[in-house]
A and B are shown apart, each in its own frame.
Chain A
Amino acid sequence: MTQYNRIDGGLIDRSRVLNFSFNGKQMQAHPGDTLASALLANGQKLVGRSFKYHRPRGIFSAGSEEPNAMVQLRSGAYLEPNTKATVVELFEGLSATSQNHRGSLEFDLMAVNDFLAPFLSTGFYYKTFMWPKKFWEKLYEPIIRTSAGLGKLSLQEDPDCYDKGFLHCDLLVIGGGPAGISAALSAGRSGAQVILADEDFIIGGRLNSEVYEIDQMAGSDWVLTAKAELETMDNVRILARTTIYGAYDHGIFGALERCNDHLASTNNKPRQILWRIYSKRSILTAGSTERSIAFGNNDRPGVMLAGSVRTYVNRFGVAPGKQVAIFTNNDDGWRTATDMAAKGVSISAVIDSREIDPRAKISGAGLFLGASVVDTTGRKGIKSITLSNGQTIECDCLAVSGGWNPNVHLSGHQRGRPEWREDIATFVPGKQLPVGMACAGAANGNLTLNSALHDGYDIAGRQMHDLGFEVAKPLTVDAEDESCEITPFWHVKESRKRAWLDLQNDVTVKDIKQSNLEGFRSVEHLKRYTTLGMATDQGKTANILALAIMAECTGKTIPQTGTTIYRPPYTPVPMGAMAGRSRGKDFRPFRLTPSHQWAEQHGAVFVETGNWLRAQWYPRRGETTWRQSVDREVEQTRKSVGICDVTTLGKIDIQGRDAAEFLNKVYVNGFAKLAVGKTRYGLMLREDGIAYDDGTTARLGEHHFVMTTTTANAVLVFRRLEFARQCLWPDLDVHLISITDGWAQYAVAGPNSRGLIRKIADKEYDLSNEAFPFMACKEISICGGTLARLFRISFSGELAYEIAVPTRFGGSLMEILMEAGKEFDVVAYGTEALGVMRIEKGHAAGNELIGQTTALNLGLDRMVSSKKDCIGKVLSQRDALNEEDANRLVGFRPVDRSHQLVAGAHFISKGNQPVMLNDEGWMTSVCFSPTLGHSIGLGFIKRGDQRKGEIVRAVNPIQNSEIEVEIVSPHFVDPEGERLRV
């Protein structure tokens, strides 16, 4: 196929040829073409099928408002559906296919829907698929799902990469047409930081589509001159191929930059960037979008917006037809006729709905004033039109102009409503704009060139003044204020055929009328009932027409009828761009413990705990199940000594003259009198009296403490302590620093732990039980002078220590502990063994501290000091939290020791039905205890402390099982704590 629709002129580079394909057909075009202009140049009129009726559709517009020309780009994993051909910048090797048809594009089997249209009227789905109910999932839904959607996904992982970024500016100029460029010039000359963004791949907007002159030069040349000046300014950044898709709070905008979509390969660079732009001021110069006129069969390929036809002629050097008719209700439509005639394109007729004097002489064209188009022929491409006077005129392109709608969308993203302007018959931005925003040019209803240029320049100047910049000298340009006179004309009432409003969703004038008859009065309801203005184009060419028809139906004015709320995004944003780089392992950061490398080398199985990766267990050769590894780690630790990396526990350095008093206020138990060199277990409550974290705090000096928190709550505790410090008690001299990452900390547990610690501690330290007893702490040195902190605390229930060194020594310390521990047959244990030993010992952990349990529930009520106040104390004394039959944390063991307990099982007394009414509590933590040789558990049960020895049923309704369990002490191992103190 040759480019037989090419004509002279345009902004394309004819010195180079680009090869591309559409539905497998090889075609040629030039740099500067869009896919749409290239298809038109090659005579490809039929490019897609409509959503519902599968009507043949062609290219309708020349921008992002396009409802019809949706194609799939590329192939394989790179396949991208629902791409608008009108905004796709052509590149060598581009491959595009049509979508939404079964069979070929030319012979779509689903076009049968069009013949069934009388049965598929608006609301068809809602009315039809209601009964019989059982058909819903098995019949209706599969059929609807198969039929729904336009393009198809590849269902493969997207191989492209995406990025995000942050930009800042004094002024964001949204749209690079005449108003936008002059605004950027104004602000740029003032010295402000300016971002000028435009969705097109060249800036200039309509100046590239028109033949207007500015300062006696072509508008497109003036753009190049202005662009050259802007590019010399360090303070101006031009973002072409960038759509400002959303206006958010505080002058923040979302922008999508399509960096590499115009290249055959992205070379592993981000395909698109999602920018967050922080602006002090913004100016909406997004131009305007032409609307159509509704008449019978106005959706045929070849029926196009008149301004877009001009774009193809003037910018791309393409004539969309050989014999063109124009149907207009305003003076702008005449410009299409004159521009095309000037390029030698045959104009068969100009039809103006107004009874006016002709606006131009068009050689060879019939002029029909006060007339309209009532019908068209040509299924896969328009062949003729029928006028209201009954005359038929042959044409292969009908250019329609129903007036221009300012692109007000972003002005309404903060729920601002546009206002109606009668003189131009359209909505303009309202008074309630996003903070810092002003509107100018066509987007503000100034639809003529000269006014747009000055509007942009002057408004930007005022914004500069507001920001304290020196206002640039006045703009001196010589440009025309072309006529834009219009008489509203929305639809041709004489048409008996379907007149289309929303071409993408197949919504007709009749549909609007029908929804009105059915009682849908609100535009929001109308939209959802008819699907008007949905999907990728969001009704940019349809909505105002539909509102006008609805207004006719209801007898209201258009402004009384109102518009739907404009919401981001202005044009579709790919999910890949939303995700940015947050995919796969980059979804979130990982935190690694100091012994991570050692653990990897020793085959550890890791578990994610928050962002941390922790060793869960260390399998050894011959162990085929995790239980074997965990049992061994527990047994070896209890028998001799084990090492566990506990660096992940939160560590907070607390200093200040009032540090002790501060701790007294945040813990339920007293800390004021904790001796230097001692550690104490503490429990913290929320303000409502519920327990939220526990841990130990060591006193290293008179005014110096180190608090540990649970891994999960490290950040929460720090945040709450900061709140207490800064807001509740600002008069206390206390200061907090998180040192979680600063210290590598290992639990060294087991009867031989002292022996192992002695081997690495420097000799001057007496670590005997007498000199360094249970709950002691001390700063010592190890391995010949390295600073370390030693705490004699135990989570396992064994004689145990936690030893901390600066993190840079953490990896080395793990190796040394394992090396020095060889003589004790030391074992490294992971979080599973840690959990088993804490259950055996009866320590509460995350399963018990669930944000619903009190100190009383946990059996820690006696820790709550009666001699002092603390956060949560008053509300912990509420009657409801202290009832006689409150849940108590106790231990459970199966009556038949061969049974396994299940966490989450509910306790029901023997003889009672397993229903909620009889629910007495639940199992919180279970494990197999290698020490006892059977399954054990912890759980909450009413009056548990008074029911030891009682047999209850642990019911698991999910797995439909239950077993009998005996209530026992939660301390399965060493209940008297003798091992801790040896």
Chain B
Amino acid sequence: MSEYCLEPASVLDEYKQQFNGAELRELVDVGKVSIAIPLKGEEEVEKVLADHFGIAIPTVGKSVLSEDKMVRVIRLGNDQLFVLLFDQQSDPRSFLANKFGNVAYLTDQSDSWVGLEIRGTKARQALERICMVDLHPEVFLEDHIARTLMEHLGVLIIRNGDDSFVLMSASSSAKSFLHAIITSIRNVV
């Protein structure tokens, strides 16, 4: 037994705040894995997703949530998928590696990204102040995703509900990102 034990820490101390019309919280314990589709290997990746998660590979700009709501697969590019695992896998990469084998290249991104979820009737209004993507409910449909910039920071935005969005950005600038989102909310509520 080692003399020392490493303690994990969430980058935003598990931030959670209720505003008038909007709730903002850090998404913790969400595994994030990049899946690179090998050259000419899409069919095999598709098969793994269908066999193990029961979902079809999404098109670019879309995501798919598994029926048990434990896995969300996001298509970022022709050869790039991003997977969110909500079942608190301690080693999400290994979990997926067991499914994919040599069919795809996996990179654990759990610590690279911070995830925030903003939801509520004023969520869109708040995001108007920071997000250049058209988030109109009939344009940016549920499960749609987009890569964009918010206050100079690269952000992956996912619509995961009627008035609910997941915002993912680099973990090193998480505090600036959180501050920017909170400012956006406070400016409208």
Contacts and interface: CB of A to CB of B under 8 A. Distances in A.
B84 interface: no
Given A591-B170, A591-B173, A656 B38 contact: yes
A807 B134 contact: no
Contacts of A653: 107
A251 to B, nearest CB: 13
A137 B153 CA distance: 45
A125 interface: no
Nearest to A739: B112
A435 interface: no
A594 to B, nearest CB: 8
A332 B184 CA distance: 47
Contacts of A822: none
A735 B10 contact: no
**Chain A binding surface, main DSSP class:** mixed
Interface in B105-148: 105, 107-113, 128-134, 136, 139
Contacts of A611: 173
Contact of B36 (A591, A647, A656): A656
A605 interface: no
Contacts of B134: 168, 278
A167 B170 CA distance: 25
Given A588-B152, A783-B2, A812-B6, A655 B173 contact: no
Contacts of B39: 656-657, 731-733
A612 interface: yes
Interface stretch (B46-54, B59-67, B174-182): B174-182
B37 to A, nearest CB: 8
Interface string A244-283: 0000000000000000000000000110010010100000
Contact of B109 (A742, A762, A812): A742
B43 to A, nearest CB: 15
Interface in A397-451: none
Contacts of B3: 759, 820
A954 B179 CA distance: 49
Interface stretch (A105-113, A158-166, A322-330, A368-376): A158-166
Contacts of B4: 759-760, 782-784, 816, 819-820
B36 A276 contact: no
Interface residues on B, range: 35 or more
B110 A735 contact: no
A821 B7 CA distance: 18
Contacts of A812: 6-9
B158 to A, nearest CB: 18
A63 interface: no
Given A586-B179, A742-B111, A809-B8, A166 B38 contact: no
A166 B149 CA distance: 12
Contacts of A273: 129
B17 interface: no
Counting chain A CB atoms within 10 Å of each CB, the highest count among B4, B39, B132, B170 belongs to B4
A762 B2 contact: yes
Contacts of A704: 105
B36 A741 contact: no
Interface of A: 161, 163-168, 193, 269-270, 273, 276, 278, 581, 586, 588-593, 611-612, 647, 653, 655-657, 703-704, 731-733, 735, 737-743, 759-760, 762, 782-787, 805-809, 811-813, 816, 819-820
25 contacts: A164-B129, A278-B134, A581-B180, A586-B180, A589-B151, A589-B176, A589-B180, A656-B38, A735-B80, A738-B112, A741-B172, A742-B110, A742-B111, A782-B6, A783-B4, A784-B1, A786-B6, A806-B8, A807-B11, A807-B172, A809-B6, A809-B7, A812-B8, A816-B6, A819-B4
Interface of B: 1-11, 34, 36, 38-39, 79-80, 91, 105, 107-113, 128-134, 136, 139, 151-153, 170-173, 175-177, 179-180, 183-184, 187
